[in-house]
Each structure stands twice: as structure tokens, then as C-alpha cells.
């Protein structure tokens, strides 16, 4: 029987190598309110949260924004090694709502997922986008915290290489 998993914050779950994920510090941009677990990028060398369908992703905030310009913010860098864990949602619900919890399936592995931002609760989810075009994440495994078929179950994803800010040209 499938369970329903509460939608929660995304995390840097583990690395493929078994080593700690790469964590770097960057100055915070002005007037930011992002939360730990949100995807971020650099604008003029300073950390800010990504929008919908970002052109680049630096990684995941490892701490909440302070609200003070130039405060050093820890970021887990998106690379080939780090696996980010997101709740799976469908593409329904619209921008800003975080989507609707969707059941995991073994066929999720290898598929592209888009980024769904719940801007009310500052939580990021992985949305299975059936029509293509906005995928920024690739599912490489299902989380062992849930069973296959759990609604809102967690998927382990890497950021698609072409969208990694430190490892692409743009």
C-alpha cells in the first residue's frame, strides 16, 4: 500500500563517491530571504535564489539567508557527485505552489525533472514535467526513505550538466 509523504525541504542527501559534498562560501546578495534547501545561483558574484526555469544553478543553500548583504553563505555546489533529494510532485498546481504530490515509480530513474518552487513555504520540489523543455534535474535513483509508489516520495537528482553554473559556459 502506498503512503503519502509530507512535502518537505530538499536536502543534499549524499554523494556518489561517498565523500562529503563540496561546500563553498559566497557573499549574500542584498535583501535575500532564501532558506536552507533552496537552489541558488550567483548574480554579480553574490548568492541569490533561483527563479523558475533558471539558466544556471550554483547549488543548494546550506543555510538560511541572513538578510545582510555580503554575509558569507554556505552553498553545496551542484556537480556530478552530489545527489540532491526532492519530493516528487506533478506539474499541476502552477508556479509558486510547489505542485501536487505525485507517486514515485522505478521509471522515474533517468528522467528529467523540472524545479518546482513553493514560494509560500520556501521549499523546492522535483516536478515530473511530461511535456519536456524545462528539465533542470535528472533523477538518478529513488530515496531509500520511501517505498516505490509513495505519493510525494523522494527522488535523488543531480543538476543537469548544462545548467551547473561552475561547470558550464553561458
- Residue 138: strand pairing partners: 112, 158
Q: Note the pLDDT tens digit of each residue in 99-151.
A: 788 899 999 999 999 888 888 888 888 887 655 668 899 999 999 999 999 99
Whether residues 85 and 120 fall in one domain: yes
Q: Note the pLDDT tens digit of each residue in 21-63.
A: 999 999 999 999 999 999 999 999 999 999 888 999 999 999 9
Last residue within a domain, chosen from 31, 58, 77: 77
Whether residues 56 and 84 fall in one domain: no
Give residue 170's pLDDT.
Answer: 54
At 94, the pLDDT band (50, 70, 90 cuts) reads very low
Report the number of distinct structural domains present in the chain. 2
pTM given for the model? 0.91
Q: Is 116 helix (H, G, I), strand (E, B) or coil?
A: strand
Q: Is residue 3 part of a domain?
A: no
Which residue segment(s) compose the domain that 34 sits in?
21-77
Give residue 119's pLDDT.
Answer: 82
Last residue within a domain, chosen from 59, 77, 95: 77
Cell numbers standing for residue 73:
553563505
CA distances from 132 to 53, 142, 155 (A): 12, 21, 18
Whether residues 35 and 103 fall in one domain: no
Amino acid at each position: 500500500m502506498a503512503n503519502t509523504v509530507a512535502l518537505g525541504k530538499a536536502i543534499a542527501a549524499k554523494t556518489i563517491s561517498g565523500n562529503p559534498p563540496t561546500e563553498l562560501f559566497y557573499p549574500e546578495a542584498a535583501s535575500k530571504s532564501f532558506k536552507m534547501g533552496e537552489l541558488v545561483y550567483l548574480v554579480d558574484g553574490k548568492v541569490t535564489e533561483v527563479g523558475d526555469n533558471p539558466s544556471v544553478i550554483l547549488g543548494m543553500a546550506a543555510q538560511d539567508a541572513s538578510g545582510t548583504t555580503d554575509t558569507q553563505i554556505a552553498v553545496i555546489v551542484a556537480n556530478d557527485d552530489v545527489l540532491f533529494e526532492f519530493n516528487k510532485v506533478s506539474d499541476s498546481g502552477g508556479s509558486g505552489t510547489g505542485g501536487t504530490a505525485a507517486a514515485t515509480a522505478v521509471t522515474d530513474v533517468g528522467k528529467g525533472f523540472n524545479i518546482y518552487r513553493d514560494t509560500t513555504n520556501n521549499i523546492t520540489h522535483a516536478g515530473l514535467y511530461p511535456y519536456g523543455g524545462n528539465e533542470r534535474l535528472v533523477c538518478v535513483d529513488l530515496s531509500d526513505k520511501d517505498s516505490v509508489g509513495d505519493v510525494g516520495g523522494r527522488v535523488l537528482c543531480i543538476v543537469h550538466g548544462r545548467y551547473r553554473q561552475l561547470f558550464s559556459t553561458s
